[in-house]
Amino acid sequence: MLVSIFNDVLGPVMRGPSSSHCAAALRIGRLARDLMGGKIDKVLVEFDRSGSLPTTHASQGSDMGLFGGLLGWDAADARLPDSDRALRDAGIALCIETIDVGDPHPNTYRLTLTNSHETHTLHAISTGGGMIEVLRIDGQSVSFFGDRAEPLDALGIPGRILQPVLPVLTLPDTSVPFKSALGMLRYIESNLSPQPPPPGSRKLLGEGGAIPSDSPFPVRDERPGEGLGRGSETPLWKLAAQYEGQRGGLTEDEVLAKALDLIQILRRSIAQGIAGTHYEDRILGWQSGKFAERMQAGTLLGGGALNRIVLYVTALMEVKSSMGVIVAAPTAGACAALPAAVIAMAEELGLDETEMAKAFLASGLIGVFIATRWSFAAEVGGCQAEGGSAACMAAAALVQLGGGTLTQSLAAASMALQNMLGLICDPIANRVEAPCLGKNVMAASNALSCANMALSGYDPLIPLDEVIETAKRVSAQMPRELRCTNLGGLSISPTSQAIEERLVQLQLRRQN
């Protein structure tokens, strides 16, 4: 998979508590709907008992997203919170079962879909931040990621194409390790530059064409073109624009315009959060309003730009938990640290939205490095994969706002991720609100500190690519219970369990 900044890192634009649950499940559901030609009578959903989904699929949005995808909706559809009712109204019978099959990935979806004419199976995984990979269709091994069409004639499914569209292509073997942080840029360039397929490359199915207008992905995979610009004086945002432009067949202006659209969505969401949000099935109420009042009255402790960052983090997290529109940058659980840091700091510095967009793009290329070598999924890497990635990306973005160099951006990113190694994922009451709010604040504060350290010439010692590899290694050493399964940390404290029981009882009363 050649990661897209807009499809996979600074996105998707969505509703729901978790991108690896809700947005990814929706994309899987959309592909399943295509597989059935839009006609579904019954769906069997199976989750492996040893994975993360048996304990989290209802409360963290997997059901909501999957049902919306089966109905053909997109990730920002306002109807998503009622998708279970809409599925029933559409006459689709649903069964969810927990089985013992030893799936190696904790976010594995096994779907069996039936109508009066045909039955198909689809196995797919959520790999973090809304990204997915389809592994099997009707028992046949495949490997594709949903951002291009997949003709299925080779699998004995005549006339069926999973949208959108892709060319026949090969991907270089991604097992080659990076040699340095700047080496990552050369590695990305080699993926983009025309070249013969190397040994060990993977061939993907498909034929050429354009993404249809109803695709859930904003950028198609085009991928030919010149190499990325080299040299330490090239700003990180320009390298990001070149990367995404070559991957998606976009000009620099078009890439920047897409980033501007995201900034404007985020600023509206921040304003919505500060104005006040409400949602019954959440554990934290509206807190950003009181913070804004005290900040305006001058009764908070002095924090400068940091206080504005905390306000914006809180506002975005409250919008997320009330099913408002957010940008999963890089995930929904860590959706607030990066945009709050960028927007708040730019406002403090008197910079316009174009500069915010450039900083956002700079962060996006750092996210590409992380997602290419590791994961954004807390189920895979704990909160170091979500909050750690957000801090890493935000630190590079803040250096961009501060007029720093490419080398300083990479240094800040390295230091920020170093500081988040080992961070567990333990949502209270199985809701992605707390301690997620505090971890987003911590990620943004960490990013600001590391950006200023890098701008002052601090030495990160360990290059970014080695820190990413270390985070990946640490995640493999973490107990499963500490990786977003609702089985460890604060999630199993007596108070957390009591809150969860109260919410369950509230839901039962509403249903009755």
| Residue given tokens 């007029």 in the structure block | 403
Measured distance CA(326)–CA(160) in Å, rounded: 33
pTM value?
Answer: 0.85
Q: How far is CA 89 from the centre of its chain?
A: 30
Whether residue 174 contacts residue 372, with contact meaning beta carbons closer than 8 Å, is answered with yes
State the helix-helix crossing angle for 353-373 and 464-477, rounded to 10 degrees: 50
**pLDDT (tens digit per residue) in 455-480:** 999 999 999 999 999 999 999 999 98
Strand 42-48 versus strand 93-99 pairing type: parallel
Question: How confident is the model at residue 90, as a pLDDT?
Answer: 96
Whether residue 293 contacts residue 392, with contact meaning beta carbons closer than 8 Å, is answered with no
List all residues 6 or more positions away from 308 whose beta carbon is below 8 Å from its beta carbon: 295, 344, 347, 348
Q: Which of 377, 470, 392 is nearest to 107 (CA)?
A: 377
Measured distance CA(47)–CA(296) in Å, rounded: 49
Query: CB burial class (10 A; 0-12, 13-18, 19+) of residue 254?
Result: middle
Question: How confident is the model at residue 161, as a pLDDT?
Answer: 73
Question: How confident is the model at residue 324, as a pLDDT?
Answer: 93
Q: Which of 25, 10, 4, 56 is nearest to 126 (CA)?
A: 25
pLDDT tens digits in sequence order for the chain, 512 residues long: 688 899 889 988 999 888 888 999 999 999 999 999 999 999 999 999 999 899 889 888 899 999 999 999 989 899 999 999 999 999 999 999 999 999 999 999 999 999 999 999 999 999 888 888 999 999 999 988 877 777 787 778 877 877 642 222 222 333 333 334 444 454 455 455 443 333 333 332 222 333 344 556 666 555 443 444 444 578 999 999 999 998 888 899 999 999 999 999 999 999 999 999 999 889 999 999 999 999 999 999 999 999 999 999 999 999 999 999 999 999 999 999 999 999 999 999 999 999 999 999 999 999 999 999 999 989 899 999 999 999 999 999 999 999 999 999 999 999 999 999 999 999 999 889 999 999 999 999 999 999 999 999 999 999 999 999 999 999 999 998 998 878 899 999 999 999 999 988 887 887 77
Question: How confident is the model at residue 71, as a pLDDT?
Answer: 95
